[in-house]
Amino acid sequence: MNELMKKISSYGIVPVIKLDEVEKAVPLAKALCTGGLPVAEVTFRTDAAEESIRRISTEVPDILVGAGTVLTIEQVDRAVRAGAKFIVSPGFNSKIVGYCMENGITIIPGTSSPSDMEAAIELGLDVVKFFPAEQSGGSAYLKAVSGPFPKLKFMPTGGVNAKNLNEYLSLPNVIACGGSWMVNPDLISEGNFDEITRITKEAVINMLGFEFVHVGINCSGAEEADEVTSKLCDMFGFINKAGNASNFAGTGVEVLKKKYLGEMGHVAVRTNNIERAIEYFRMRSIGFNEKSKVVDEKGNTKAIYFADEIGGFAFHLLQKS
């Protein structure tokens, strides 16, 4: 997977946009960025597409803009000249795929069958679109094809919405989902970009799925930690789970045997995808304590603390299991 695809994966959602008015392109792109999704696929289904891509790439350089519904090599050339960084097609056209790969253009062609997927692998692709996703079998289908195609990754598009988004993103062979629910054509036509920003933020938070896990209490030593844990368990009937570095009173309170990060202690928040969460916070200029990062044997991030305390507490993210 190339660096551009890794970036798309870190965003998780690719808004699929149909623009009829060029004048709406830049404010729409800014609304998506403000909402936490600096990426867009502008479909080549309207006469405004090419110029819209040009204006977005020029005036909103922070957004990763691509061209969708690309059906010909001529459209590929026009899209790339306008500033498109990636090409998306609804089906698998070997001529378009071959042309893009020969010219170093990132292409995400549509697939809906094992034959399409085999053709993609034969041409050297490792990421494809799955379209139309819901009508072609949905997340259950993608789970099934992960067996015969273990290295192929997908970007499902078509019928993906706020309700089923995380069904797809929970699959290890899905890198991101294409969707249009946050860029409703009526909202674009009305120029209601504040509402688009609101829905986009809602989509991102839904995707990340933040949940409170536990609060940590700093103690000066093992004896104090044991006393605090016992008292909490006696008071509330929690189960006392003793550990080497800390004890747990139930599942919601961690009692540390020596002072760690945070003047008062720490708060743990769990997320559906810690790498996407880290990207989300970095886009908002919220930093991390890189020395605190915990990774598994495969190098995947499992936990990391934020750089700054809040109310005397250090906060850290945990990857949901």
Question: Which CATH number characterizes residue 303's domain?
Answer: 3.10.180.10
**Contact yes or no for 204/13 (Cβ under 8 A):** yes
The answer on pLDDT for 63 being more than 90 is yes
Residues 183 and 261 in one domain: no
Residue 206 lies in a domain: no
pLDDT score recorded for residue 164:
98
Query: From CA 305, how far away is CA 313, in angstroms rounded?
Result: 11
**180 shares a domain with 134:** yes
| 216 and 190 share one domain | no
- Averaged over 166-186, what is the pLDDT? 97
Per the structure, the count of domains in the chain is 2
Show which residues are catalytic: 41, 129
Question: Are 129 and 26 within one domain?
Answer: yes
Query: Which residues in the chain belong to E strands, given as ranges?
Result: 13-17, 39-43, 64-68, 86-88, 106-108, 110-111, 127-130, 153-156, 177-179, 211-218, 240-241, 246-249, 253-256, 265-271, 288-295, 301-306, 313-319
Residues 27, 155, single domain; the answer is yes
Whether 23 maps to a domain, the answer reads: yes
In a domain, 175, yes or no: yes
Give backbone dihedrals phi and psi of 99, rounded to 5 degrees, phi first. Answer: -65, -45
3-state secondary structure of 97: helix
Q: CA angle, 285 as apex, 280 and 286 as ends, to 5°?
A: 75
**Same-domain check for residues 176 and 35:** yes
CB contact at 8 A, 228 and 217? yes
Residue 292 belongs to a domain: yes
Q: What is the pTM of this model?
A: 0.94
Q: What does the block give as tokens for 285?
A: 């200029």
199 pLDDT tier (thresholds 50, 70, 90): very high
| Block residue for tokens 């306008």 | 82
Indicate whether 230 and 185 sit together in one domain.
no
| Residue 321 confidence (pLDDT) | 85
For residues 43 and 183, is the Cβ–Cβ distance under 8 A?
Answer: no
- Distance from C-alpha of 280 to C-alpha of 308, rounded to nearest angstrom: 16
Report residue 221's pLDDT band, with 50, 70 and 90 as the boundaries: very high
Q: What is the pLDDT of residues 66-115, one digit of tens each?
A: 999 999 999 999 999 999 999 999 999 999 999 999 999 999 999 999 99
What pLDDT is attached to residue 37? 98
Q: Give a yes or no: residue 205 inside a domain.
A: no
Mean pLDDT of 245-252: 96
Structure tokens at 178: 């294409």
- Report the percent of the chain where pLDDT is more than 70: 100
Asked if residue 130 and residue 41 are part of one domain, the reply reads: yes
Q: How confident is the model at residue 197 (pLDDT cuts 50, 70, 90)?
A: very high
| 153 Cβ neighbours under 8 A, 6+ residues apart | 1, 5, 126, 127, 128, 173, 174, 175
Give residue 177's pLDDT band: very low, low, confident or very high (50, 70, 90).
very high
DSSP line for 125-188: -SEEEETTTTTTTHHHHHHHHTTT-TT-EEEEBSS--TTTHHHHHTSTTB--EEE-GGG-HHHH
- pLDDT category, 52, cuts 50, 70, 90? very high
Residue 274 belongs to a domain: yes
Q: Are residues 61 and 109 located together in one domain of the fold?
A: yes
Looking at the fold, whether 185 and 215 belong to one and the same domain comes out as no
Which domain-ending residue is among 200, 235, 253?
Answer: 200
Q: 35: which 2 tokens?
A: 């909402």
Mean residue pLDDT of the chain comes to: 97
Out of 200, 232, 257, a domain closes at 200
Looking at the structure, do residues 195 and 59 belong to the same domain, yes or no?
Answer: yes
Domain with 44 in it:
3-200
Distance of CA 232 to the CA centre of its chain: 38
Q: Tell me: do 263 and 121 sit in the same domain.
A: no
pLDDT in tens, 132-156: 999 999 999 999 999 999 999 999 9
Whether 267 has a pLDDT exceeding 90, the answer reads yes
The residues near 69 (Cβ < 8 Å, ≥ 6 apart) are 43, 44, 45, 88, 89, 90
Q: Write out pLDDT tens, residues 302-312.
A: 999 999 999 99
**238 located within any domain:** yes
Q: Which residues contact 277 (CB under 8 A, 6 or more apart)?
A: 208, 210, 271, 317
Domain boundary among 136, 165, 200: 200
Q: Which residues pair with 206 in a beta bridge?
A: none
Report helix, strand or coil for 272. coil
Q: What is the CATH number of the domain that holds 82?
A: 3.20.20.70
Residue 76 lies inside a defined structural domain of this protein? yes
